[in-house]
Structure 1
């Protein structure tokens, strides 16, 4: 039998369900893989083996009793350190929070448990989950197992690096400005930023509500090595009533659309390797029967500017005091570059910007009526060299490159990243598929077509 840790999550679950393998064996393989490769990449920053094995034994006992088990029964899934998991510190990469123990599970973790998954291991994130690079003074730096000279992405860089190195088949992440999709892109795995409201986002430890920009722009979601696992993980995360007013229990499968599917291609001024990956993916979609036409997404520059200014307005009030009090030196330097490049909105402009978001989204809905899918870059550049954000000039470059990520956040739309190829020195490339609200199904369907041609990138043994 293939080593259990190499298998997709759905295959692991099938073996457990049919008793061809036990959940204990799957979790043991997962723990052994952590021991073998995690010291080289520092993706998982906490793991409790005894607890994980006890949960696996309980999963096996349910199978032996003949119970009807959930789709991901017995599959280990690591959780990012900024999500509440009962009995664990929600550190968010901050030294001051190392003893901040969650009294209960966040909604997304509770839903994973209900799906049969076993939350095992906590994955690294930058301090305050703030950067596109995963490093902090509490847990240390996470390296990209495909190429340690480039970022594994942030803020879900621990999750993406773990998957690329074979630590788990599915991982949890969240995405305010690309924090699921960019790590997936940077390490050659898949990731999906769901629509606003698709997956519950509450944390029991929270003592106050998040600023409205974070409520509108941030979501919880999965990363995975295959699109089939990504789809299964999204269903697991979205299913079940949770105390989040934004949660919208909409079915994953939407209404049928006219065929052939029309895909809008937007290269958005990306660098030549990124454009080449987009045109290759467009060709694969065309071969599969899609009609691919170049488009210009409406109000692009305005949407990008508004994401930056609205988020900066709230960050000055809510994040800057925390960064000044608790952040490590790298995060403070990154924040200084962000503040130097982004102008906050005054009170009138802030209110007008939130209202303007509705009008911009309305015009995007019109785009999706003609082209139900948008194929665009994940980033305008290939994955960044480590710590590019520590200068004002580096932050300016990053803010421009990452517009294809955070415009999607601004609008609350779903975006799926699928790997396509690599460039020199084993630097991953991929593309992004964006759909209308709650049309993750179309994004995933198209991603599967691309995956069928590109193949699933191999698991890496980090140097």
Structure 2
């Protein structure tokens, strides 16, 4: 049962093929079997989950209304509020920060009938691309313990690849949904800013403005259909988020074949030819599915990435850095120093000019997306790096973010939706691609991702067969 998709699991429970209690028990047993080797789930909620499963079966037997995820096991990242649980965000000093109420995304999952079986690991302050912290330790990649599971939703990504839960919650301010999806061979969507409501009742202060505009909550799953189901559930309205937008999940159907811009690789990027070969395979899959595919240069990728770095690091430096350094571990401080070294810290005038420049850059991208409603890019131009590779110094961090994943973090400053889907394996490890669309057109991203998945297949089953054989 733990290998079933979220869509099939929900159908099985609704039809009586399986009970919620049976399904949740299967996932709890899988968690106990697989989690010790990877340390993806760091808060075990199996006891309340088992009780919730029994209640779910009773509600179904009584004919009560049920939601689209009734009885379906899920995981939640440890940086959002789950009532009665600590929102530690990977920081030892926050291990007693007990949430007084559910965050909107958790409330929406529960209203849909989902059952939370555990909370997944993240780096300190969810500010590294590698999931390790002094409170809960290192999370391993199920494919290979020597490579990273990504971050900051690394625990979420690893749990999905290992078969723990049907859908994982994560969030993304610089790639924290898409990078773990790439590293672990699963699918995800970073929604448009405002699509999924966000708020932590335990937070003592609001986040800086541009951090709010860059951050998105979202689902990770083993198939695109499950990602779409997770998005639908998570996107329900919550009045606590003033940026939430009541946009339809499905936009107007485009006339004729959609044009796809396969992003040209900037000449200054050092690339792995085999990775780019898989990106070309994804382009071929789209062409076979009827998309009109052409290689095109995207608008000012370098300037867009630098704007992301400058804005997020300026806000962090002014409003958060001092408090972070007071409680953070040595690894976080080293990585933070490296991040700051690649950004231009702005004064008040520079910060306002940068925000104004964001509007110009976003406008150019939106006009580009009118001509090419789908943009296919590498998520990374290199294979997944080693565990804690960001501790190799400032130059290594610059190489990773400026060179390897430049196409990833740039999208956050624009607030555009972007999906990641696996396209194949390279030396036995997964490689994914990124699909970008215009504002509130997650449906276009997911349709293109599904077309690739239909031809490339999902990859986690290969991992499970390998583990079973080994």
Fold shared by both chains (TM-score > 0.5) = yes
How far apart, in 2, do the equivalents of 1:386 and 1:50 lie?
Answer: 32
Correspondence for 1:416 among 419, 427, 451: 419
For normalisation by structure 2, the TM-score amounts to 0.96
Residue 190 of structure 1 contacts residue 223 of structure 1 at CA under 8 Å; is this kept in 2? yes
Structure 1 window deviating more from structure 2 (179-188 vs 364-373): it is: 364-373
Match of 1:406 in 2: 409
How far apart, in 1, do the equivalents of 2:220 and 2:12 lie?
Answer: 22
Q: Root-mean-square deviation (CA), in Å? A: 1.2
**Following superposition of structure 1 onto structure 2, how do residues 253-264 of structure 1 map, counting pairs within 5 Å?**
253-264=250-261
How far apart, in 2, do the equivalents of 1:331 and 1:241 lie?
Answer: 33
How far apart, in 2, do the equivalents of 1:189 and 1:403 lie?
Answer: 20
Match of 1:237 in 2: 234
User: Gaps spanning 5+ residues in structure 1: where?
Assistant: none
Deviation at 1:366, TM superposition (A): 1.0
Deviation at 1:198, TM superposition (A): 0.1
Structure 1 window deviating more from structure 2 (392-401 vs 243-252): it is: 392-401
Describe the SS at the equivalent of 2:340.
helix
User: Gaps spanning 5+ residues in structure 2: where?
Assistant: none
Match of 2:369 in 1: 368
Deviation at 1:182, TM superposition (A): 0.3
Residue 130 of structure 1 contacts residue 155 of structure 1 at CA under 8 Å; is this kept in 2? yes
Match of 1:228 in 2: 225
How far apart, in 2, do the equivalents of 1:403 and 1:301 lie?
Answer: 8
Match of 1:327 in 2: 328
Correspondence for 2:29 among 27, 32, 45: 32
Does residue 346 in structure 1 map to residue 343 in structure 2? no
Match of 1:437 in 2: 439
Residue 301 of structure 2 contacts residue 407 of structure 2 at CA under 8 Å; is this kept in 1? no
Match of 2:184 in 1: 187
Aligned length: 459
Deviation at 1:343, TM superposition (A): 2.1
Describe the SS at the equivalent of 2:460.
coil
Correspondence for 1:457 among 456, 459, 470: 459
Describe the SS at the equivalent of 1:83.
coil
How far apart, in 2, do the equivalents of 1:274 and 1:322 lie?
Answer: 40
Residue 374 of structure 1 contacts residue 435 of structure 1 at CA under 8 Å; is this kept in 2? yes
Deviation at 1:346, TM superposition (A): 1.8
Match of 2:162 in 1: 165
How far apart, in 2, do the equivalents of 1:256 and 1:151 lie?
Answer: 39
Correspondence for 1:41 among 18, 38, 41: 38
Provide, for residues 180-232 of structure 1, a one-character-per-residue CA deviation record: whole Å limited to 9, x for no partner. Answer: 00000001000110000000011111121110121110110010000000000
Match of 2:148 in 1: 151
Does residue 378 in structure 1 map to residue 375 in structure 2? no
Match of 2:55 in 1: 58
Does residue 95 in structure 1 map to residue 98 in structure 2? no
Match of 1:265 in 2: 262
How far apart, in 2, do the equivalents of 1:28 and 1:318 lie?
Answer: 44
Residue 117 of structure 2 contacts residue 165 of structure 2 at CA under 8 Å; is this kept in 1? no
Describe the SS at the equivalent of 1:87.
coil
How far apart, in 2, do the equivalents of 1:132 and 1:82 lie?
Answer: 15
How far apart, in 2, do the equivalents of 1:225 and 1:399 lie?
Answer: 26
Provide, for residues 426-458 of structure 1, a one-character-per-residue CA deviation record: whole Å limited to 9, x for no partner. Answer: 221010000000000011001111001111113
How far apart, in 2, do the equivalents of 1:71 and 1:321 lie?
Answer: 44
Does residue 83 in structure 1 map to residue 80 in structure 2? yes
Match of 1:204 in 2: 201
Provide, for residues 133-178 of structure 1, a one-character-per-residue CA deviation record: whole Å limited to 9, x for no partner. Answer: 0000000100000111111000000000001011112100000000
Provide, for residues 63-83 of structure 1, a one-character-per-residue CA deviation record: whole Å limited to 9, x for no partner. Answer: 101123111110011000000
Residue 310 of structure 2 contacts residue 345 of structure 2 at CA under 8 Å; is this kept in 1? yes
How far apart, in 2, do the equivalents of 1:146 and 1:191 lie?
Answer: 18
Provide, for residues 382-414 of structure 1, a one-character-per-residue CA deviation record: whole Å limited to 9, x for no partner. Answer: 211112111112111112122211111010000
Structure 1 window deviating more from structure 2 (205-214 vs 76-85): it is: 205-214
Describe the SS at the equivalent of 2:423.
strand
How far apart, in 2, do the equivalents of 1:200 and 1:273 lie?
Answer: 38
Correspondence for 1:394 among 388, 396, 401: 396
Match of 2:308 in 1: 307
Residue 267 of structure 1 contacts residue 377 of structure 1 at CA under 8 Å; is this kept in 2? no
How far apart, in 2, do the equivalents of 1:81 and 1:409 lie?
Answer: 21
Residue 31 of structure 1 contacts residue 49 of structure 1 at CA under 8 Å; is this kept in 2? yes
Residue 323 of structure 1 contacts residue 331 of structure 1 at CA under 8 Å; is this kept in 2? no
Describe the SS at the equivalent of 2:119.
strand
Deviation at 1:302, TM superposition (A): 1.3
How far apart, in 2, do the equivalents of 1:92 and 1:50 lie?
Answer: 22
Describe the SS at the equivalent of 2:75.
strand
Residue 376 of structure 2 contacts residue 434 of structure 2 at CA under 8 Å; is this kept in 1? yes
Describe the SS at the equivalent of 2:250.
coil
Deviation at 1:300, TM superposition (A): 1.6
Deviation at 1:380, TM superposition (A): 2.4
Residue 267 of structure 1 contacts residue 278 of structure 1 at CA under 8 Å; is this kept in 2? no
For normalisation by structure 1, the TM-score amounts to 0.97
Deviation at 1:21, TM superposition (A): 0.7
Provide, for residues 303-323 of structure 1, a one-character-per-residue CA deviation record: whole Å limited to 9, x for no partner. Answer: 111110111111112332133
